[in-house]
Amino acid sequence: MVGGVGLCALLGGGDRAAYLLTRLKHHAFARNVSFTGVAATPYVNTIPVADQPPYPGDRDLERRIKSIIRWNAMAMVVRANKLSAGIGGHISSYASSATLYEVAFNHFIRGKEGPLPPDQVYIQVIPRRAFTPGRFCWGD
């Protein structure tokens, strides 16, 4: 946003903005300016923001609980590393999946309450070492 006006609006719309950015990229390449690619996906949210339902929870409370759980997980790993080295990978595994699990548990997976039967969830943790080369021999 520039002074409350979107950049695309300032440039004359989305097509004009895309054209100008493409020209800028070609201009940079012609002058040997390194250019890192922009990550983009074909994903387009088909639900307009105005039609999206309100968030079904308390974001601030959920963020606070998530922070406490992550802090506790980190503290357990630090304590365990004092007894045996090499345990730290578990905290990174948890951190990378924590938000996914917490949103699923809080908003998608049904419990025993309500008219519908509860969901059954099985989370399989696969040890990282199982996939190191030479660890297993497949087939004879």
**Smallest Cα–Cα separation from 99: which of 66, 54, 137?**
66
User: Is 2 strand, coil or helix?
Assistant: strand
pTM score, two decimals? 0.45
pLDDT at res. 90:
64
Question: Cα separation of 59 and 65, whole Å?
Answer: 10
pLDDT at res. 58:
87
pLDDT at res. 8:
58
CA 49 from centroid of its chain's CA atoms: 20
Question: Cα separation of 138 and 62, whole Å?
Answer: 44
pLDDT at res. 73:
80
pLDDT at res. 89:
63
Residue 82 tokens, joined? 């004092």
Residue 2, strand partner residues: 5
pLDDT at res. 111:
82
- Compute the CA torsion angle 25, 30, 33, 36 (nearest 10 deg): 40
pLDDT at res. 4:
45
- Under 8 Å between Cβ of 77 and 117: no
Query: What backbone torsions phi and psi does residue 24 show, to the nearest 5 degrees?
Result: -60, -40
**pLDDT-flagged residues of the chain (< 70):** 1-11, 35-41, 87-93, 96, 125-140
- Under 8 Å between Cβ of 61 and 71: no
pLDDT at res. 101:
79
Amino acid identity, residue 57?
A: G
